[in-house]
Chains A and B, each alone.
Chain A
Amino acid sequence: MLIFELSRPGRHSKGLSPHAAPGQGAIPEKHLRAQPPLLPEVSELDVVRHYTGLSQKNFSIDTHFYPLGSCTMKYNPRACNALAMLPQFLARHPAAPDDTGQGFLECMFELQELLKEVTGMEAVSLAPMAGAQGEFAGVAMIRAYHDSRGDAGRREILVPDAAHGTNPASAVMCGYTVREIATDAEGNVDIAALGSAVGPHTAGLMLTNPSTLGVFERGILEMGTIVHDAGGLLYYDGANLNAILGEVRPGDMGFDVIHINLHKTFSTPHGGGGPGAGPVGVNARLAPFLPLPLVAEAKGAYRLLGDADRPLSIGRLGAQLGNAGVLLRAYIYARMLGLEGMRRVAAFATLNANYLMAELRKAGFELAFPRRRASHEFLITLQGLKQRTGVTAMDVAKRLLDKGAHAPTTYFPLMVPECLLIEPTETESKRTLDAFVAAMKEILAEASENPALLKNAPHTTPVRRLDDVKAAREPRLTWKSP
């Protein structure tokens, strides 16, 4: 049932909108709309019941184990939400003077400082509103840096073939062409291929480390030398920062510029698709190019820096200071963790991933990189299972929904066939991991005994498998009154 189907002409929760204004106002007739918009005419209770009911059709961290690889679905502490929604924070207008937001700006300044410290970078901007916007900002800074030196021939960004799709897309938005670098049999970037790809045309290399294959790039220092010697810069995609938070810093690995997904590593909610926040960190040579605004402190007073303060900045990425409410949640989370808490994030995320990997291997699952240590996540491949039973990674993923776990990431990275990328995160207990292993064992048995059960899964969700092909061939993107 859609909200529109509950609608009755003339129904209106009058107490939620202001009293009718007297008179017609001063808007000329030619500017007025002829037909009211298609919004539902329903009661407040209708709305509350309808959307509460819809929420119950979702899997979420609060209701289910959510081992979605490369997405870091860890617990989103409730205190972060409650405190970011204090009335004074919510009411403050973004263009209000800095002296009416000293409490907020102090949090933002301290968040910049915290992020510098835990990433080993020289300066941080909180402006980017998501990881991909952080990538855009990072690559735009690389370009601004080369341009500022008159080094205009560098027109290519290198990206490993296992990278997230945002990496090549961000590079193209900055006017670069993209060259993919192959991965070797152990899941590392092929260093020889990297060596032969770099040159005077190389603007930079974008790298996720640990990689999307769930392993640490062991040759990271050598890779950095290769790129830097060719005059390129090294970009760190922070998608997997949770694997190293408190253990290793991107700045110490030699990266010139990074972005951090606060909605992963700093536990702000994913919200059914967003909002995120993608602050960028840089070393000293890129600092002048950071996106605006930045938060500065002098004698205990905080203010936002603009164009006049930072003439070399790549500019603004949004109308305001990024996703401020997300930044507040991340700040509160960081303060609750503190130094000791942060040191434990990578350790326990890695413990959980390696435990789960070991147990699934014992249960008969095939690892994509069996000789490697897992980072905070790992890849299994169901290619053998598919050949034996016809059951695919998609079937297993859908069957997991019946068993009460959200599916891992499927079919990514693209070069590992029939793969599941599994990331348990540090906030899950051994008991939850053991239940997941038990569910996976059951599925493995079902695959042999009754593959149709898997092929037709899920069976218990609000809808069964959906016809994606129909959705794309005959797009129905809005509701039409019958």
Chain B
Amino acid sequence: MPFIPHTEEDVREMLAAIGVGSFEELFDEVPRELRGRVGASVPPGLTEMEVTRLMHRRAERDGSWLNFIGAGAYEHHIPAAVWQIATRGEFYSAYTPYQAEASQGTLQLLFEYQTMMASLAGLEVTNASLYDGASALAEAVLMAVRAHKSARRVLIPATVNPVWRKVVRTIVRNQGIELLEAPYCSAAGHTLPGALEKFAAQDLAALVVPQPNFFGVLEPVDELADWAHAHGALAISVVNPVALALLKPPGQWGADGADIAVGDGQPLGVPLASGGPYFGFMACRRALTRQMPGRIVGETVDTDGRPGYTLTLQAREQHIRRSKATSNICTNQGLMVTAATIYMALLGPAGLARVARASHANALALATKLAEIEGVARAFSGPIFHETVLRLPVPVAPVMRALKAQGILGGLNLKHAYPELGDALLVCATETKNEQDLAFYAENLARIVGKRQAPRSGALKPTNS
């Protein structure tokens, strides 16, 4: 029997100890008509060998690709030690550390994580994780509205990941919160503080500021944070944690710094894995601590005066505050944070900065190479981190299919999310790509675009004659 250790003799003894004659009697409080309808369509069980073969076959079917898609989930090298340690049974199969004395490993690790993440964000306090970056942004919007007390409008630039904006809408829409969209500069590819003036008369709880934004472009974050504060709104930053090894931390934006920082922690040692599990991080200034959702670990002492770690400020949370909790979140993404902490410790400040610099350098090199192809151009003039938008002279979808035939995933087609950009493609290169990879992509794109352009321009000529 899979995973059930009982022998027949065990079962006999246990039923006798309970004082029943059969399993049937154990369910004698369940209405008879409800029992035993579980479905014949569930297939019979597989042995470990059989399921191994099945899963290998399916994994092989998914294949291996040279990936240039980013768009919120980024391919980075993950040192071998990260997941070997994170999947040790003592981390992998432990529960939430409510019994602190039996959970010092997880708790100390979370305390170390909070220290690292707070420092990356340049803010004083972080929680122990939320589900992902998108839902963390939704929680930040709710938190800002709670903290602001009077306003229920939040301004979100169109340069924030469009899927994240959808998630925010799903999560906050039943609480009477209005989301406004700020436009971006079509030349530079970032938000212009001047363009926000039309929202100045609105009573705003918060302005969201992404860095880098969805186009990979760096936003004028100092001006935007100051604009938010000048208009009585909180500044919520959305940041990439690897970029923060190089970029100014949200806590130092503008005169007073952003109030809340959120993002997806996936780039810190978490595999792409078709979308999850990742983890959302959230940091804030100290004054907002009690408005923060999610678990928080604090340092204290035991009865012998030794330092130790425990979940704290729990009166914010659903298991105590119930309907008045800051959020309904209970289970978080603890194991991913375990991996991220080990990742950050392995790389250190110098290693993480190297990852960020190499990613930036590769993205620049790729953007330059691709923009040399006839008809291909960078869509925006603003400075980038490790991702950029290209305009193609031909529709994107067939080009992506042709690249895929060469084993290349060429980027994300922006046709649906940003139709105003025309035939636009979001391309990312991280430190995982080498010169040959970039050259291989450029050669193939040049060939594919060239082939598609040629007949079209040829076909146009006769009509002019």
Q: Do A and B bind each other?
A: yes
Contacts of A338 in B (CB 8 A): 42-46
Counting chain A CB atoms within 10 Å of each CB, the highest count among B45, B91, B322 belongs to B322
- Is B348 an interface residue when CB atoms closer than 8 A count as contact? yes
- Is B298 an interface residue when CB atoms closer than 8 A count as contact? yes
Q: Contact flags (1/0) for A339-364 with B, using CB distance below 8 Å?
A: 11111100110111011001100000
Q: Is the CB of B298 within 8 A of A407?
A: no
Contacts of A470 in B (CB 8 A): 300-301
Task: Identify B335's interface contact among A75, A218, A220, A275, CB under 8 A.
Answer: A275
Task: Identify B349's interface contact among A41, A95, A351, CB under 8 A.
Answer: A41
Contacts of B95 in A (CB 8 A): 66, 68, 71, 73, 270, 272-273, 406
Q: Contact flags (1/0) for B1-28 with A, using CB distance below 8 Å?
A: 1111110001101110111100100111
- Alpha-carbon distance between A83 and B38 when the two chains are bound, in angstroms: 27
Q: Is the CB of B38 within 8 A of A95?
A: no
Q: Is the CB of A86 within 8 A of B59?
A: yes
Evaluate whether A320 and B132 lie within 8 angstroms (CB atoms) in the complex, with A59-B99, A272-B103 already known: yes
Q: Is the CB of A218 within 8 A of B31?
A: yes
Which of A191-199, A243-251, A382-390, A439-447 binds B? A243-251
Task: Identify B51's interface contact among A332, A348, A478, CB under 8 A.
Answer: A332
Contacts of B3 in A (CB 8 A): 74-75, 77, 267, 337, 341, 426-427
Evaluate whether A252 and B37 lie within 8 angstroms (CB atoms) in the complex, with A107-B58, A272-B106 already known: yes
Contacts of A97 in B (CB 8 A): 400, 404, 409
Contacts of B58 in A (CB 8 A): 103-104, 106-107
Q: Contact flags (1/0) for B437-458 with A, using CB distance below 8 Å?
A: 0000000000000000000000
Q: Is the CB of B135 within 8 A of A27?
A: no
- Is A476 an interface residue when CB atoms closer than 8 A count as contact? yes
- Is B143 an interface residue when CB atoms closer than 8 A count as contact? no
Q: Is the CB of B63 within 8 A of A118?
A: no
Contacts of B264 in A (CB 8 A): 319
Evaluate whether A117 and B42 lie within 8 angstroms (CB atoms) in the complex, with A129-B276, A318-B276 already known: yes
Evaluate whether A103 and B108 lie within 8 angstroms (CB atoms) in the complex, with A37-B349, A73-B95, A274-B331 already known: no
Contacts of A87 in B (CB 8 A): 59, 64
Interface residue ranges of B308-330 to A (CB < 8 Å):
308-310, 312-315, 317-325, 327-330
- Alpha-carbon distance between A27 and B67 when the two chains are bound, in angstroms: 24
Contacts of B317 in A (CB 8 A): 165
Contacts of A359 in B (CB 8 A): 17
A129 to chain B, nearest CB (A): 4
Evaluate whether A316 and B43 lie within 8 angstroms (CB atoms) in the complex, with A270-B93, A276-B331 already known: no
Interface residue ranges of B100-132 to A (CB < 8 Å):
100-106, 108-109, 111-112, 114-116, 118-120, 122, 124-126, 128-129, 131-132
Number of residues in B with C-beta < 8 Å to the partner?
Answer: 199
- Alpha-carbon distance between A37 and B116 when the two chains are bound, in angstroms: 7
A150 to chain B, nearest CB (A): 17
- Is B227 an interface residue when CB atoms closer than 8 A count as contact? no
Q: Is the CB of B112 within 8 A of A479?
A: yes
Q: Is the CB of B323 within 8 A of A57?
A: no
Contacts of B249 in A (CB 8 A): 33, 37
Contacts of B73 in A (CB 8 A): 93-95, 319-320
Q: Is the CB of A247 within 8 A of B27?
A: yes
Q: Is the CB of A129 within 8 A of B277?
A: yes
Counting chain A CB atoms within 10 Å of each CB, the highest count among B100, B109, B412 belongs to B109
Q: Is the CB of A274 within 8 A of B332?
A: yes
Q: Contact flags (1/0) for B366-397 with A, using CB distance below 8 Å?
A: 00000000000000000111000000000000
Q: Contact flags (1/0) for B67-98 with A, using CB distance below 8 Å?
A: 10101110101010101010111111111110
B26 to chain A, nearest CB (A): 5
* A and B contact pairs by CB, cutoff 8 A, 11 listed: A2-B112, A33-B247, A54-B105, A62-B90, A118-B38, A130-B331, A132-B330, A173-B175, A271-B334, A336-B46, A479-B299
